Amino acid sequence: MSGHSKWHNIQQRKGKQDAKRSSMFAKYSKAITLAAQRGGADVDTNFSLRMAIEKAKSVAMPKDNIDRAIKKGTGDVGDGALIEEAVYEAYGPGGVAIIIKCLTDNKNRTSADIRHILSKNGGTFGSSGSVMWMFDLFGLIQVETSKLPADHDVFEMDMIEAGAEDISTEGEQVEIKTKVENYSKVIIKLKQLGIEPDDSGLRYIPKDEVEINDEVREQISKLFELFEDNDDVEDYFTNAG
């Protein structure tokens, strides 16, 4: 599994979703709105919107909320404020590299919030490109092994033919890694096989991991909990091992 997955265990994230559902709704609403802004409201032609809606449904987000987020993206409702993507580079406790991906209607507010969280928890903002070079961008898809067909060899060949770069198993989860340009092809192939991913998205994967001690690990965990609580933070990535 990737270094990213060590900090983003699916079952742990689902527990947070249940405990902080309103915050999760806010995050998914922004993702849906942005996807609708960029590609329109037709889920048959807008792959990003379809994926955002499916993730929202996975946390039981009401249909009315989903429809309202789509209409906000197409300009049919709302105050006209656009949702934008903002990616921040930072150094965390122990000097580890961090990438923070945000969706926001106010970049000034969001950057100030992220800077405050970092400064109060042993981190600092980095300049553009300061840590990005330490990561590669890949598509990552996670599926419970119980959902896979009996013939795993045939399944893996299907995934490779669709564009999978690597397939690995840890416990009850299979992780499929793809190049960005093949991500949607692999998702579509899974759908054709009747397999619903448990988690998926484009992830920044560290080229090399940095070993950290328990004290730093605890500090990073606290920092990431604050990111989870911030409605503008969509995801975050680190090279901490």
Domain regions of the chain by residue span = 3-74, 84-133+207-238, 134-205
Q: Residue 54: phi, psi to the nearest 5?
A: -65, -40
According to DSSP, the residues that pair with 99 across neighbouring strands are 89, 237
Looking at domain 3-74, which of 3.40.50.150, 1.40.20.10, 1.10.10.200, 3.40.50.300 is its CATH number? 1.10.10.200
d(CA 202, CA 179): 9
Half-sphere exposure in the Cβ direction for 74 (13 Å, CA): 14
Neighbours of 57 (CB within 10 A): 13
The pLDDT of residue 19 is 52
Looking at CATH, the fold of the domain delimited by 84-133+207-238 is given as: Alpha-Beta Plaits (3.30.70)
* Long-range Cβ pairs for the range 212-215 (8 Å, 24+): 212/94, 212/96, 212/240, 212/241, 213/94
Per-residue pLDDT of the chain (241 residues; tens, 9 = 90+): 233 445 554 334 444 545 567 778 888 999 999 999 999 999 888 888 988 998 888 888 999 999 999 999 998 887 767 899 999 999 999 999 999 999 999 999 999 999 999 999 999 999 999 999 999 999 999 999 999 988 989 999 999 999 999 999 888 889 999 999 999 899 999 989 999 888 888 899 999 999 999 999 999 999 998 998 899 999 999 999 8
Are both 3-74 and 84-133+207-238 of the same fold?
no
The pLDDT of residue 14 is 47
Neighbours of 22 (CB within 10 A): 7
The pLDDT of residue 208 is 94
The pLDDT of residue 132 is 96
d(CA 96, CA 216): 9
Residues in the chain: 241
List strands edge to edge, sheet with 135-144.
164-170, 173-178, 135-144, 199-206
Strands 135-144 and 199-206: antiparallel
Q: What is the CA radius of gyration of the chain?
A: 18
Strands 199-206 and 84-91: unpaired
Q: Considering the domain 134-205, what is its CATH architecture?
A: 2-Layer Sandwich (3.30)
